Structure 1
Amino acid sequence: MKKVTQRRYQDVLQENIFKPLNMHDTGYDSNAKIINQRASGYNNNLDGYTNADYLDMSIPYAAGSLYSTARDLVKWDQALYADKLINKELKKEMYTVSKQRNYALGWEVNQLDADKYGKPLTQVQHGGGIEGFNAFISRIIEDQLLVVILNNTGGAPMTPMTKGLTNIFYNKPYELATENVDSQLYHALQSGGIAQLKSKYNQLDEQKIPLRERSINYFGYELIAMEKLDAAITIFKLNAAKYPNSANTHDSLGEAYLAANQPELALKSYQRALELNPDSESAKQAIKKLQ
């Protein structure tokens, strides 16, 4: 953009979008600027809230350095319908999905079930996140319905919240968004120990709630950081049982056993990880130290 306009990215946005649309609470963020009522970002950890790590907004640049409000985003949304920002031809191009998937120029485009909603509906949406914040915007083109959710506690179930709000608008049945899986498991651990943790995991699995390998693995490392080693071992064992052919699950289990001073069990886990992935350097180094 700078090569074309000879102006800074933030100045182009300010002069061509934010100022004409009276988006007074939107701009390119900078720690040096004094911004009235600017929200701080927090991490919603298992054991409470912490301040989000500092991030110089010149680093994410166009990928996530803007701040805004729901009210300002309404102005932006309505301007798109009124052709104030871009013409109809460019908007058509913006909403045209690629051949590989339902992703267009900065938008995920979905055709909602006409039988469910009584008519064809086009939903264009996108989510995003950065240290201490996550956000989601959904636009139903035919009815000019806008859903904007802005959060400053690190992460929230934005997609199910948006789905629920959309269904409420159209007087359709909806489900309440639930807390993240790791939070549910942690609360089970707090209330009933290891037995309740296992029971909750199995319950979620039976309910077909996604127990993604990466997410459960991350939860296990959070437990290690909190020095809840028995719980961490339990979680890694459950993850390894669900994903038995993943070298990573066994490698992580080995790390938990090491942290709990159980070297023999750690060695077995690392050996299994190496069987599944002969190129695993972490497993090779761990086995070398343990033998």
Structure 2
Amino acid sequence: MRCLLLLGWLLAVHPVTAQEKKEKLDAVIQRYHEYNMFDGAVLVAENGKVIYKNAFGLANREWNIPNTTDTKFMIGSVSKPLTALLVLVQVQKGLISLDKTISDYLPEFSKKNGRRITIKQLLSHTSGMPNYDIIKDFFPRISRQHFSREDYVKLYMDSSLAFEPGSSYYYSSWGYFTLGYIMERVTGKSYAQLMKEDIFDKAGMANSGSYFHTQVVNKRASGYDYTLDGYASADFRDQSNTMGTGDLYSTVEDLFKLHMALGNYSLLNKKLTDEMFAPGMRPAQYGYGWFNKQFKYTATDSVRSNFHLGMTEGFLSFFLRIPTTNSMVVILCNSSPTDFFGITGDLVKVLYGKPVTVKQPVHKAMEKLIAAKGAAAAVKEYAGMKNDSVHYYVDWISMDFLANQLLTLNRMEEARIVGEHNALEFPNKDLVLCTLGKIYEALGRKTDAAVYYKKALGISPTYEEARNRLKAIGIK
């Protein structure tokens, strides 16, 4: 008992110092980098002060140029919190009303949908508007095309809604494109110009902007995909179809400035800020541009947070705010995929003095085994690694990506082996089941494909890709 009391006294008298946290944060992210799980920049702040920032890996592999803390990364859907903020700034100016509909601002928008969907519902993903995955070949046929705003809106404005607006939650990038277009029409300025004037300039975010692929942007990283053979340059996407949803680039330092500006209400008044950060409809609890919910960083510990994640060609991002302590964690990565929830969670553990052990990801070991011995041999060794929880951990999203990689590479037999294995290991994950359906479809096994598309829909009834693939193969 005396020893326990002494330990408690020592911890109280000698709390973890900022320098100790910095060293632990560095050790965590360094280990992820060593496992080929992180190339990019990271920043951690506590009580409004940056306690750690660093960069790892290469911004450009052709020229061997390293990432730095002022490297500019595409932030994918972390653009959505910024778009939501920009909309609310226009609300603050009296130019947009949250309760008005799409049709009030875009009269040419489909009347059957435009008159029913409000700005508030677009912001909170409760509009019922579908996402681009309802188009079977969106990638790469549509994603590589250039669109005017008017033509892109026509692509989806007549689509059937997933539910009555305001009755449920469904994540829709098309909803956020619509918000960007509405702001352009209301202000007479481009989304890029408006974002610069109302957000970036006022927050001092000099290294952020809206990207278009013909631009030359100093210090912008290239995006890469991890492959079975190492790295590959990420696929091309025309940014004309990501306006408002995923076209922004930024730095970890600029996003810290945004965090501080949100906290001191220098961009948006307190009333609207509180609305933005209010928890939305369960289970997502998505407010206006943010998931506003408890962030679970251990099996028993969580903290109230505002966060968003982003994925776009070759880039991944995670931006987490902890308002109660004015803290934040942001990771910007230019190699995909990675376990951004796991990385962010481990960094938060350090903030709260919890022990962290970074284990080797099973899917990385699987990649090497597939290259050396083939998929069947790799699957046989999976169980041993899974059971060795001291040294290994399993990330189902990355395992699913591995199956998709093999499918993309047209290594069909290996894709089938890994896909079937994943479906047995993760039977409650709709993405995994849909991936196996796609593999079976590519193999000409339509009946088997339909079984797994239906299983995916059984888990997520609004899963449009699974629904549309069922239609495409002619099975109801």
Q: Is TM > 0.5 for Structure 1 vs Structure 2?
A: yes
| The one of 197, 202, 210 aligned to 2:378 | 197
- Alignment correspondent of 1:80: 262
- Alignment correspondent of 1:288: none
Normalized against structure 2, the TM-score is what? 0.49
Q: Which amino acid aligns with 2:317?
A: A
- Residues 23, 75 of structure 1: 8 Å contact kept: yes
- Alignment correspondent of 1:222: 405
**CA separation of 1:275/1:11 partners in 2, compared to 1, >3 Å: closer, same or farther?**
closer
- Deviations 1:174-229, CA, capped at 9 Å, x for gaps: 242654x54332222334545641233334665694646xx756534533555656
SS of equivalent residue, structure 1 residue 17? helix
Name whichever of 223-232 and 14-23 sits farther off: 223-232
- Is 1:52 aligned to 2:238, yes or no? no
Count of aligned residue pairs for this structure pair: 269
Distance 2:282 2:350 in 1: 32
How much does 1:71 deviate? 0.8
- Alignment correspondent of 2:277: 95
Q: Which amino acid aligns with 1:62?
A: G
- Alignment correspondent of 1:262: none
**CA separation of 1:239/1:270 partners in 2, compared to 1, >3 Å: closer, same or farther?**
farther
How much does 1:121 deviate? 3.6
- Deviations 1:48-107, CA, capped at 9 Å, x for gaps: 212122222222001011111011111111111111011111111011112333211111
- Alignment correspondent of 2:366: 185
SS of equivalent residue, structure 1 residue 58? helix
Any residues of structure 2 matched to 1:27-176 within 5 Å, and which? 27-101=209-283, 102-111=285-294, 121-176=303-358
Distance 1:23 1:247 in 2: 40
Normalized against structure 1, the TM-score is what? 0.76
Distance 1:233 1:247 in 2: 13
Distance 1:276 1:63 in 2: 30
- Alignment correspondent of 2:14: none
- Alignment correspondent of 2:195: 13
**CA separation of 1:200/1:87 partners in 2, compared to 1, >3 Å: closer, same or farther?**
farther
**CA separation of 1:104/1:282 partners in 2, compared to 1, >3 Å: closer, same or farther?**
closer
- Alignment correspondent of 1:263: none
Distance 1:123 1:113 in 2: 10
- Residues 237, 253 of structure 1: 8 Å contact kept: no
In structure 2, runs of 5+ residues without a counterpart are 1-182, 428-432, 455-468
- Residues 248, 273 of structure 1: 8 Å contact kept: no
- Residues 319, 328 of structure 2: 8 Å contact kept: yes
